[in-house]
Amino acid sequence: MNKKIIYFGCLILFAVLIFILVRGNEPVQLNESEILFLDDQESLENADYKKAIEVRGFDFPGDLGAHPEYLTEWWYYTGNLLTEDGRHFGYQLTFFRRAISSKFEASSASSWTSNQVYLAHFAITDTSSNQHYVFDQISRGAAGLAGTSIDPLFSIWLKDWEVVQLEDNLFQMKAKNEKIEIDLLLTDIKGISLHGNQGLSQKGAEAGNASYYFSQTRLMTSGMIRIDDEKFEVNGFSWMDHEFGTSTLGVEQIGWDWFSIQLNNETEIMLFQIRENDGSISQFSSGTVIYRDGITENLEMSDFNIEVLNTWQSSDRITYPGKWKVTVDKLDIALEIIPLIEDQEMNLFFRYWEGAVQINGIFEGKEVSGYGFVELTGYAQSMQGVF
């Protein structure tokens, strides 16, 4: 028989063998799985959460802790810090709490049982290199993984991110991952300021479209910031917002613009304006001025004006305001607010812009400057239902 045929035969056999061998190691390709869920989750109307309706008294440090009988709650730490040679960093460490069921009873002996979920956002703005680093973590509020404590002093943590009250006015903040880290000591200089009507901050027309809201507006801050392997000694001021409620936003409201302003005359201003579906500004927008001595003055919607001077567009064409002029005529305040860098978007589980800003202008006729933080929600997605 022809030798060629034999060779050919061998070749085919060889090929078949190779085929078998290779086939055995075929990589597994995975398609998406999809889970269909039982649609029996309670609607907000049926839910049994408490609402922010009446003025209540606050007791600290007790009320620094969580209020799980309300649907949502957050602890917002933001700050502007400088190194000795003037390099600027902004930071944000926020803890969110959300209840997932109001009909929950801790009947089980398991310490994992819970109806609370905690979420945390951690960001650093490195102004000089025009970088904004953003991370988040999520956990159930149980089994020691996340939660708050007020016994004897306040602490809040989510996995390895935490804020711990060390003494009456002293707090330690730690958060880290491979990319960034903060380790800061915060000293509360002014104490706690209540917003709105003794801490009841009305956001919409309906009863319960409100939250309980108070802040520590001047936390003297010092400590360390790490980016990759580089560590920086920093000093500056932080701001803490603590807010909780159930149906905070009204039906027509899609988001808010929030300003925390720390001026070099030891005065702070908090302002927020709520935007309606139709583009108008809600009459429930308000603000607070916190004077040097800690005395506060409420601002109504008619007391202030926020003018957008510029806009910034994200890479996927979502437009945020990018520069503002804030005026409070009755107090002779006119401030220009400029983001330290443009892209300080928090593109996470829910999407918003939260960034460090620089401030210049006039306060009661005198020139002032300072730093602050601005939060812009509802531009990428409606906040309705989220908060």
Partner 1 sequence: MKSVPLLLKFSVRHLIRQGWQTILLIIGILLGVAVVIAIDYANESSKKAISLSSQSITGKATHQILASGSGIPEAFFAEMMRTSVFKEASPIIEGFVNVIEFDQQAILILGIDPLLDFPFRQYYGSGDNQLSQLVAIISEPNSGIIAKDLAEEYNLSLGDEINYVFEGKPGKIKIVGLIASEEPIVKESLKGLIIADISTAQTAFNKIGYLDRIELIIDDPNQEKVIKNKLLPGLVIRATSEQNTQLNNMVAAFQLNLTALSLLALVVGGFLIYNTMTFSVIQRRELIGLYRSLGFYRSEIFFMIIFEALVIGIIGTFLGVLVGIFLGSETVNLILQTINDLYYVTTVKSVSIPVASVIKGTLLGIFATVFVSIPPALEATQVTPRTAKIRSGYEEKVKRNLLYLAILAIILFIVSYYLLFSPYFQNLWWAFGATLLVVIGFSIFAALGLFFILPGLSRKLKKYFGLIPGMAARELYRSLSRTAVAVSSLMVAVSVTIGMAMMINSFRYTVSVWLQETLAGDIYISVPNQFSNRSSAFIDEEIVKNVFGYPDIDKIDTLLTINGISSFGDLQINVITNDEIAYERIFTKTVSPIEEIWENLESGQILIAEPLANRFDLGVNQMLALETPAGKINFKIVGIFSDYTSSQGYIMMTRSVFEKFWDNQAVTAISINLAPDKDVNIAVRELKSRLSQKGQELLIRSNQSLREDVLVVFDRTFAITNALRFIATLVSFIGILSATLIILLDRKREFGMLKAIGFRQKELNQLVLTETGLMGFFAGIFAIPTGIVISLILVYVINLRSFGWTIQFYLDFWTIIQGVIIAMLAAFTASIYPLRKLNKLKPIMVMRDE
Helix (H) or strand (E) holding 163: strand 161-167
User: Do residues 224 and 253 make contact, with C-beta atoms less than 8 angstroms apart?
Assistant: no
Residue 203: closest CA among 330, 95, 72, 101 = 72
> Which DSSP letter does residue 380 get?
S
The residue count for binding partner 1 (CB under 8 A) is 47
Q: How far is the CB of 254 from partner 1 (least distance, A)?
A: 19
138 sits near partner 1 (criterion: CB under 8 A): yes
Using the rule CB under 8 A, give the single segment among 87-95, 155-163, 219-227, 310-318 that binds partner 1.
155-163
User: Do residues 374 and 323 make contact, with C-beta atoms less than 8 angstroms apart?
Assistant: no
Using the rule CB under 8 A, give the single segment among 63-71, 153-161, 272-280, 304-312 that binds partner 1.
153-161
Using the rule CB under 8 A, give the single segment among 12-20, 208-216, 316-324, 332-340 that binds partner 1.
12-20
Q: For partner 1, which is the closer residue by CB, 85 or 105?
A: 105
List binders of partner 1 among 250-309 (CB under 8 A).
Answer: none
CA distances from 4 to 9, 16, 105 (A): 8, 18, 81
Among 3, 28, 278, 293, binds partner 1 (CB under 8 A): 28
The number of beta carbons lying within 10 Å of the beta carbon of residue 123 is: 23
110 sits near partner 1 (criterion: CB under 8 A): yes
Question: Hey, is 302 helix, strand or coil?
Answer: helix
129 sits near partner 1 (criterion: CB under 8 A): no
CA distance 96 to 377: 15
Q: How far is the CB of 136 from partner 1 (least distance, A)?
A: 11
30 sits near partner 1 (criterion: CB under 8 A): yes
The residues facing 79 across adjacent strands are 91, 238
Quick one: tokens of 375?
A: 């939060």
Q: For partner 1, which is the closer residue by CB, 143 or 207?
A: 143
Beta strand ranges found along 84-209 (DSSP E) = 88-99, 116-126, 131-140, 146-149, 155-158, 161-167, 170-176, 180-188, 192-194, 200-202
Among 43, 46, 108, 315, binds partner 1 (CB under 8 A): 108
1 sits near partner 1 (criterion: CB under 8 A): yes
Quickly tell me which residue has 């064409």 as its tokens: 317
96 sits near partner 1 (criterion: CB under 8 A): no
CA distance 182 to 91: 9
Using the rule CB under 8 A, give the single segment among 52-60, 132-140, 182-190, 230-238 that binds partner 1.
132-140
List binders of partner 1 among 40-69 (CB under 8 A).
Answer: 40-41
Sequence-ordered list of residues with C-beta below 8 angstroms from that of 311, at least 6 positions apart, any chain: 319, 320, 321, 322
Among 9, 62, 144, 294, binds partner 1 (CB under 8 A): 144
Chain contacts with partner 1 (rule: CB under 8 A): 1-2, 13, 16, 20, 23-24, 28-41, 100-101, 104, 107-115, 117, 138-140, 142-145, 157, 159-160, 162, 176, 349
